[in-house]
């Protein structure tokens, strides 16, 4: 038996990724952007993992595409937002139709209703964070946005109830 030394741990992100997982990273005039595509459960888990990189007080904007309702909250504690998102993540991954934007003065992470993640930032640090999660940078990713229009989301009463609870627990205000 040959021993080659310690084998690197297999990342959960690498183990369960699909061939479609990846991201496009680009530099615009005064900011960097990333468009991340993966399967639904992974993209929501990725959002939860990445918000840990944000400052302790963040702003949140929610859009419910089914009911055409919007909410917003400013300077919310990051742990409260993370905990509230954790409670609804399974329903969001299963049904989509909700846009969740979490942002600070330097960074913005947005999960769109089609369950794609968009990141906008003043620095390129997200490139390295995404690579560290086992995602591969690509020239082009297959977008999910073409699959459904905003009016074609199936009914999701459990998600709507959970979203109302989420909004109430964080004290978001309607827009």
Element containing residue 37 per DSSP (H, E)? strand 32-37
* pTM (2 d.p.): 0.84
Query: How many other CB atoms are found less than 10 A from the CB of residue 41?
Result: 15
- Which tops the pLDDT comparison, 147 or 129? 129
What mean pLDDT comes out for the span 69-91?
Answer: 97
List pLDDT tens digits, range 36-71: 998 899 999 999 999 999 999 999 999 999 999 999
Residue 82 has what pLDDT?
Answer: 97
Is residue 19 over pLDDT 60? no
Length of the chain: 175
Give the pLDDT of residue 14: 42
How far is residue 40's CA from residue 77's CA, in Å, rounded to a whole number?
26
């Amino acid at each position: 038996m040959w021993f080659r030394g310690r084998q690197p741990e297999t990342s959960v992100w690498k183990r369960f990724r699909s061939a479609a997982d990846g991201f496009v990273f680009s530099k615009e005039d005064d900011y960097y952007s990333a468009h991340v595509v993966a399967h639904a459960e992974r993209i929501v888990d990725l959002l939860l993992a990445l918000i840990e990189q944000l400052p302790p007080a963040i702003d949140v904007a929610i859009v419910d595409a089914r009911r055409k309702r919007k909410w917003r909250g400013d300077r919310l504690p990051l742990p409260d937002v993370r905990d509230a998102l954790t409670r609804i993540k399974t329903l969001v991954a299963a049904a989509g139709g909700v846009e969740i934007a979490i942002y600070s003065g330097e960074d913005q992470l947005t999960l769109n209703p089609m369950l794609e993640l968009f990141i906008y930032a003043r620095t390129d640090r997200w490139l390295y964070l995404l690579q560290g999660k086992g995602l591969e940078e690509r020239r082009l990713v297959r977008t999910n946005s073409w699959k459904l229009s905003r009016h074609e989301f199936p009914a999701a009463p459990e998600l709507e109830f959970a979203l109302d609870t989420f909004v109430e627990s964080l004290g978001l205000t309607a827009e």
